[in-house]
Amino acid sequence: MIVSHTHRYIFIKSLKTAGTSVEAALSAHCQGADIVTELGDYRFNRDEAGNWVHHAMNSTGFEQHDDARTIKGKLPAEVWEGYLKFSIARNPWDRTVSLFFWEKKRKPDSTANKGWLARLGLGRSEQDRLKEEFRRFVFSDTWENNDRFYALDGRLCVERVLRYERLEEDLQQLCSDLGLPPLQLPRLKAGIRKQGLHYSALYDADTIDAVAERHQFDIRQFGYTFEHAAS
């Protein structure tokens, strides 16, 4: 999460939308009284080359994933009203799969953590076990949507929502509007899920509907649809 007084913007960091990478890239241009929240796990402060890329500052009283209502309550009204506020949205079905693997990565008994992602040549029984584990996750109460980061009382409360699916393009346009130079996004918190795995592989009709039900705002506001992998 960032509040940049230098460039007059508020970045509200949603979950599983490459927010850490965006935050790190933006933090290189923060200074003075700007607020950049600390990462909870410092292993993610470095990019693939080992360079320190996330620069926290002045973050006392703020958390990485403070939601819109919380941030609004912590800031002077003139800052909340006068700065450009933005967040990031992602296809709900894709985001839920990403969240599933993120939540499972530290559980050694999890099907999702048994090395099959490096192969993709799974036997049917192993695929079925993973789909069943994902199904239990979807129907549990252990996860939530991202509404609270960019919506208040059912209405969009930020001026801009970057789309994960075209993040580089949207971010560069934002930087241009804010007077920032083009940014290079580091790959932070990546590699949890095999890039070749399309999210649709884990779904059935019930889980498709369940994720849609929990993400009604995203679907209505941003027009997201469930897509099958290209054949």
137-157: pLDDT as tens digits:
999 999 999 999 999 999 999
Q: In this predicted model, what pLDDT tens digit does every residue of 43-73 receive, in sequence order? A: 666 556 666 678 899 999 999 999 999 999 9
> Nearest Cα to 112, choosing from 197, 10, 29?
197
What residues form DSSP beta bridges with 231? none
Give percent of the chain with pLDDT exceeding 90: 72
pLDDT at 183 exceeding the cut of 60: yes
> Burial level of 81, CB count in 10 A (0-12/13-18/19+)?
exposed
Contacts 24+ apart (CB under 8 A), 164-173: 164/17, 164/18, 164/88, 164/89, 164/90, 164/91, 164/94, 164/95, 165/90, 165/91, 167/18, 167/22, 167/88, 171/22, 171/25
**Is the pLDDT higher at 188 or at 206?**
206
User: What mean pLDDT comes out for the span 13-29?
Assistant: 94
pLDDT for 39: 86
pLDDT for 197: 80
Q: How confident is residue 106, by pLDDT bands cut at 50, 70 and 90?
A: low
Q: Which of 35-44, 116-125, 203-212 has the lowest mean pLDDT?
A: 116-125
- Number of Cβ within 10 Å of residue 4's Cβ equals 23
User: What mean pLDDT comes out for the span 204-226?
Assistant: 98
pLDDT at 182 exceeding the cut of 60: yes
What is the average pLDDT value for the chain, to the nearest integer? 88
Q: How many residues does the chain have?
A: 231
Q: What is the pTM of this model?
A: 0.87
pLDDT at 118 exceeding the cut of 90: no
Q: Which of 99-103, 115-119, 172-176 has the lowest mean pLDDT?
A: 115-119
The CA distances from residue 17 to 79, 89, 95, 97, 203, in Å, are 25, 7, 7, 12, 20
> Burial level of 191, CB count in 10 A (0-12/13-18/19+)?
exposed
Domain architecture of the chain: domains with CATH:
2-222 (3.40.50)
pLDDT for 126: 76
